[in-house]
Amino acid sequence: MIVLIAILSISLGIGCAKKPVSDDGAAGGAAGTTDGSGQNGSFSSQSVTDATASNVPSSLQRIHFDFDSYVLTSSSKAALEDNAAYLKAHADAKVQIEGHCDERGSDEYNLVLGEKRARATRAYLVSLGIDSRRLSVISFGEERPLDPSSGESAWSKNRRAEFVTR
């Protein structure tokens, strides 16, 4: 009997792994709109290159955010304007916007913050004329760091939104 309880406890612990929060843009309501007001944010951009399932190369720019922020600054908007131009030139490309965080904060908090970053990014692309049906968002929170080390240099790399074309 004790062995059965131990096996059941282990099985429940393994089955309770955290999962990324995702949104394909079809859900409505207030949760689908993020304007980012009340937050401070900035980032730098760098090119991300991915081969996609449709063999469309991506030249979409990765954006980085300040600590605990999801607001797009003028420089982030400039990078997203370049991304919108790319998406307009590749009208068949669909994009998943991935929100990421650094390791600080709880798993739950970082999943929500990563989603807010992805949604703010999507909202700006939609305001630039990109069809929202082409854009999906997902949050990986702190689960997929670019730099696994600790410290401000690593953390600043990990606070980002990335684009995966499909």
The model's pLDDT over 123-163, given as tens digits with 9 standing for 90+, comes to 999 999 999 999 999 999 999 999 999 999 999 999 999 99
pLDDT on residue 11: 42
Interval 36-86: pLDDT, tens: 333 334 333 344 434 333 444 458 999 999 999 999 988 888 899 999 999
In degrees rounded to 5, what are phi and psi of residue 13? -65, -40
Separation in Å, CA 128 to CA 30, 55, 131, 142, 150? 21, 25, 9, 29, 36
Q: Is the pLDDT of residue 13 over 60?
A: no
What is the per-residue pLDDT for 76?
A: 87
Write b or e for each residue in 34-48: b if 16 or more Cβ atoms lie within 10 A of its Cβ, otherwise e: bebeebebebebeeb
Give pLDDT, residue 2: 52
The whole-number pLDDT of residue 153 equals 96
Yes or no: say if 60 and 80 are a contact pair by the CB < 8 Å rule.
no
CB 83 within 8 A of CB 61: yes
List Cβ neighbours of 77 (8 Å cut-off, separation of 6 or more).
Answer: 124
- CATH topology (fold) of 20-27+36-165: 60s Ribosomal Protein L30; Chain: A; (3.30.1330)
Q: How far is the C-alpha of 7 from the C-alpha of 101, rounded, in Å?
A: 34
Q: Give the rounded percent of residues in the chain with a pLDDT score beyond 70.
A: 65
pLDDT surpasses 50 at 30: no
* Residue 147, pLDDT score: 96
**Which pLDDT tens digit goes with each residue over 84-106?**
999 999 999 999 999 999 999 99
